Structure 1
Amino acid sequence: MSKRYWINSLCVEVNEKQVDTVSRHIYLNKKDFLSLTCGPEHILPQGAKWGGLEHALYLTYTCLIDYNLKSVADDLWSASRKLFEKHLEELYPQNLVKNSPEHFANIFKNYFKNIYRAPASPEKMAFRIYKTAKYLLENVDGDPRKILDLYLNSAKKRDAQDFLNWLKNQKYKGLPNGDKVIKLWFRTMCESKELELGNGMWNLQRHELAKIPMPIDKNIISAGIALGLVNVTEGRFEGSFSKLYEPFNYVWTLVAEKSQTLPLELDEPIWKTGRNCRRKKCQPSCFFKQICPKITNFMFKGEKNMPSKEWDILVWPIQ
């Protein structure tokens, strides 16, 4: 019998047959699938070298910024690249903290004034980066690449999941936070130059990263519904998509296992797929077009008026 979950009055069931279909498709076409990993975060500012200090700061600072729902991730990373290209010297932690937070905010807001998410502001986002620069100076000589060593020296053990949990506990000290963002930062800091997990700036090996679950957000859930991996058997749901974490985490972990792919490797390709599923915009080039049942009986209420307080409210199935 297929695995079922009850969330309030909603009952959903994992479609084991479709899980096998999707997993096999990924496994047989893995090179094409993993080519979708490349995202805007992999386009470095001019002059920055892969694995260098500038690369690490670019990833760390950008992952601190809440971007507006009217914008897309491409806009965020593009703005960050322009900031780094024009003001690189001022972004090194030792230089950034020589001046006041207000001084940096005046520079920062010229690049991000249309990017931030209310009720935040460019000034608040700039202060986050300023706070992080101080943390980096005080703990790792201003170098995010040394954060893994900081953890190893304090924890006295080498465990990727424990390291991720440790990072989450540092959020009040200035590091990126939020499950989606911190796993994006974690993944990109662990990627090799070929965008494969392992041997990155944080030198964790591939097998050490095997148990790290992928982040579950609107796009990941949208892809899971559209592909028919999780189906409604009874009831209706209207609420925060975060309440559906368990069934979708289970199903994507299962897909990773069956396709012999790490869960974190699914993140970027499935996120890109789900972004179109969420908007009901099937693309001719979609990796899953041959096997997708194109289920569209769901919506996010905040999609109609962005940004909206209802941005995370999932309605499933639509009446």
Structure 2
Amino acid sequence: MLKTTPARTKKVIEILMDWYQKKTEIFTNAELPEALIPEGITIGSYDHIMFLTQSVSIDYMRSAQQLWDAARTTWKDETTRWVFYPKEIAKRNLEDLIDAMSKHKLSKKHTKDPTTWRKVALSFNNLFDGDPRNLFQKFNYDALQIFNSMRSQYGKDFPYLAGSTGTSKILSLWIRMLHDFAKVEFRNLNEVPIPVDIHTARATITTGCLAGEFSGTFGELADKTKKAWIEACEGTGFYPLQLDEPLWNLSRYGCSNYKNGSTCPVRHQCRLRNYCVTENASSKIFLQQNNTTTIVTEYPEQQ
């Protein structure tokens, strides 16, 4: 059974956030793939919001770096840029969209990705005149209300983006991206759960935010992860969405290098090594999104 130790994790949060802000050691060149916007786009503009919104709608079970590189290339190509605009998508058929999204490998699933992309675009077109900002305005830019309405009222209209089963990370991720990169001024961001993918889950386990034994689906682990970070953030001055980028990059540049039964090759660059459960040789971590996830961890003797 997995357990939480909020007092311990609060120390982890303080170290992590200070370290990430200073961008030293493994974080020296840390960034997020979606942070780089195509040339010519103004931060916070309609173009920027649609670039982020449509791209993240298919951010599931694929390389984030490949997705965002392909999205930028598709935007740069004037013959394919139209795929980011709901009103333009409404004028064309699915086959046109399949061809355009395949040109620069924006689509990895031949028909599934374009079908999802088209559904999202047409829903924004039909419900909000093609502009997500009309959705935000409807709920007075309240992030929690937007989150809840997408999960319930608009769940069928926005596949994946609304956080359907198996893709629940995307809705939180979308809200966080819009706030961090498009500078959308949402309220109640502290109420939105952290998006959980393989990287966030791994960093949650290695830092000991969740520790003990677990065997089950990745979705079950993701639910426990969200609750654990909500609990740990209480009284810290931080909220879960703020931890998404640092945790994701902690795993990407650090924890992903660890192999069970070995010493982490980047531990000398990690300011959280005294808290890392991999310092205990008995810890075993097997994270899999499509198969059974198994975890057996213990805290290191010295912290």
Under TM normalisation by the shorter chain, which class is it?
A: 0.7 to 0.9
Whether 1:171 and 2:155 are equivalent positions in the alignment is: yes
Distance 1:287 1:98, change over 3 A: farther
> Which shifted more, 31-40 or 249-258?
31-40
Whether the aligned pair in 2 keeps the contact of 1:223 and 1:273 (CA below 8 Å) is yes
Q: Which residue of 2 aligns with 1:53?
A: 46
Whether 1:147 and 2:135 are equivalent positions in the alignment is: yes
The alpha-carbon deviation at position 317 of structure 1 amounts to 2.1
Q: Which residue of 1 aligns with 2:232?
A: 255
* Number of residue pairs the alignment of both structures matches: 276
Whether the aligned pair in 1 keeps the contact of 2:15 and 2:271 (CA below 8 Å) is no
Whether 1:127 and 2:115 are equivalent positions in the alignment is: yes
The alpha-carbon deviation at position 37 of structure 1 amounts to 8.1
Whole-angstrom CA distance in 1 between matches of 2:239 and 2:20: 12
Q: Normalized against structure 2, the TM-score is what?
A: 0.78
Q: Which residue of 2 aligns with 1:80?
A: 71
Whole-angstrom CA distance in 2 between matches of 1:245 and 1:90: 32
Whole-angstrom CA distance in 1 between matches of 2:122 and 2:189: 29
Q: Which residue of 2 aligns with 1:221?
A: 201
Candidates 277, 302, 309, aligned match of 2:255: 277
Cα displacement string for residues 171-193 of structure 1 (whole angstroms, at most 9, x for unaligned residues):
32135133211111111122366
Q: Percent identity?
A: 22
Name the amino acid aligned to 1:12. L
Whether the aligned pair in 2 keeps the contact of 1:67 and 1:76 (CA below 8 Å) is no
Q: Mind listing any 5+ residue stretches in structure 2 that lack a counterpart?
A: 259-263, 298-303
Q: Normalized against structure 1, the TM-score is what?
A: 0.74
CA RMSD of aligned residues (A): 3.0
Whole-angstrom CA distance in 2 between matches of 1:272 and 1:279: 12
Q: Which residue of 2 aligns with 1:5?
A: none
Whole-angstrom CA distance in 2 between matches of 1:297 and 1:241: 16
What does 1:1-319 align with in structure 2 at a 5 Å threshold?
A: 11-16=1-6, 18-26=8-16, 28-29=18-19, 31-32=21-22, 38-69=31-62, 72-86=63-77, 87-89=80-82, 91-112=84-105, 116=108, 121-152=109-140, 159-169=142-152, 170-174=154-158, 176=161, 177=163, 178-191=167-180, 200-201=183-184, 203-205=185-187, 208-232=188-212, 236-245=213-222, 247-275=224-252, 276-280=254-258, 282-283=265-266, 285-286=269-270, 288-289=272-273, 291-295=275-279, 296-300=283-287, 309-310=290-291, 313-317=292-296
The alpha-carbon deviation at position 98 of structure 1 amounts to 1.2
Name the amino acid aligned to 2:216. G
Distance 1:181 1:192, change over 3 A: closer
